[in-house]
Amino acid sequence: MPMTLCPCFGDRNTDDDEPADRDPVLLVSGMGGSILNSKPKKFGFTTRVWVRFFLADLEFRKKIWSVYNPDTGYTETLDQKSDIVVPEDDHGLYAIDILDPSLFTKCIHLTEVYHFHDMIDMLVGCGYKKGTTLFGYGYDFRQSNRIDKLMDGLKAKLETAYKASGGRKVNLISHSMGGIMILCFLSLHHDDFVKYVNKWICLACPFQGAPGCINDTLLTGLEFVDGFESYFFVSRWTMHQLLVECPSIYEMMANPDYKWKKQPEIHVWQKQTKEDGESNISLESYGPVQCTSLFDEALKNNELTYDGKTVSLPFNFDILEWAAGTRKVINNAKLPDGFSFYNIYGTALDTPFDCCYGSKESPIEDLTDICHTMPEYSYVDGDGTVPSESAKADGLEAIARVGVAAAHRELLRHERVFELIKKWLGAEPTDTKKSKTSKVADADAVKPMVL
């Protein structure tokens, strides 16, 4: 075995090993879970724009800021000289493994960008072989989960895995929004799903939306990393100016037709001044349907400057209409008879649900000021991003639903999750080393639930 001098030079090569008898596995990432590159249309160097830590905000603004085209349904970059592409290296696994694969990131082992990395290692240790029984599907997560390019890409990847393994059906493992995309594929390409897919293990999917996270994303933006590292990363507002034009975000808004235990709301302490000069302070509340009027008012002056030109970015009602169509597609998804579906969801973390802007002492006078105001949240149980209520409400016949006390992205490397995956795939490690014991108490599967 070669000597390893630094963690960035780990050996994951298993080409000399005899592959175990395994059905193929396809790993499907979620929102922000794929490397995105900017590739010049004519000539020049391809640049990684997501994820990167050095010059992150600058390159993001230059290469990936986009606007939605209602005629095509696609979100298109403002940079007319390049295209956004997802690398296909390592049978699709490279794009979802370490999201910033720079030497610096590998050497310090920055956990936030080690995405499917540990799961890939676990599966390789269980006898899966890249390109034969192990594949990845990264995609342009700006786009709608039902857009043709993503659907065609998933079909092609399933067909590749099916053929490479000698005609064996594929086991899907999805994370977060990847589950929404698979539901769209199930609904729109049902025959292909039946032909190619054997089992589906779903992690942390916002089946009914992620209200607190998505509502605040549309109003103030989103940060993918916390603490000191955030200073080297894409800023919250820079990210906002992209996501407000992304159908994928609108498709994860709270489902207004779902019977929530309590309807998610946005609260605004608002100061209104009458003609006689007297002012009134009141707490206004907006539910899943009413919140669109708030988004419309709060974002009416939202704009960015690109290449010397001003681009208006209000709340996009064309995208909202498209997202409503996606919800109909999802509602029509039906699993084949006898299909094996498993759902793992995160628990035990405070997860944003309601957002409140302003306070009685410091109310909002102009609703456009909300976009520069940090909210106070009310919390429910979940993984810190997706409420467990939403993640459990898949509306499908499940073999098991299991809650694991872990954060949204932590589920991708959690020992309890790995134990469940190995059990459901029927795959144990091919070496003699004992697997680590989970430090999280067992969470028994609940009975199948049809919604």
Is the alpha carbon torsion for 424, 421, 255, 330 positive or negative?
A: negative
Residue 33 neighbours by CB under 8 Å, 6+ apart: 96, 99, 115, 116, 138, 141, 175, 176, 177, 178
Residue tagged 């906002």 (tokens) = 240
**Strand ranges (DSSP E) for 74-138?**
74-77, 82-85, 134-137
> Which residues, in sequence order, are CB contacts of 16 under 8 Å at separation 6+?
none
* Length reported for the chain: 451
The amino acid at residue 82 is S
Nearest alpha-carbon partner for 57 in 225, 234, 241 = 234
CA distance 281 to 290: 20
By C-alpha distance, which of 212, 215, 211, 357 is closest to 284?
Answer: 357
Distance between CA atoms of residues 226 and 353, nearest Å: 19
Q: Which DSSP symbol is given to 43? A: S
Q: How far apart are CA 392 and CA 115, in angstroms?
A: 22
User: 267 catalytic, yes or no?
Assistant: no
What 3-state DSSP class applies to 281?
A: strand
Catalytic residue among 165, 176, 388, 390: 176
Whether 383 is catalytic: yes
Decide if 414 is catalytic.
no
- Positive/negative CA dihedral, 60, 62, 65, 69: negative
**What number of CA atoms fall less than 13 Å from residue 283's CA on the CB side?**
9
Q: Among residues 115, 117, 408, 414, which one is catalytic?
A: 408
* Burial class of residue 167, CB neighbours in 10 A (0-12, 13-18, 19+): exposed
Number of C-beta neighbours around residue 451 at 10 A:
11
SS (H, E, C) 334-345: CCCCCCEEEEEE
* Sequence-distant contacts of 45-50: CB under 8 A, at least 24 apart: 46/85, 48/100, 49/84, 50/99, 50/234
The active-site residue, picked from 100, 140, 354, 383, is: 383
Determine contact, residues 223/233, Cβ cutoff 8 Å: yes
CA angle 124, 92, 209 (to 5 degrees): 100
DSSP state of 111: G
Cα radius of gyration (the chain) = 22
Which residues are marked as active site?
176, 383, 408
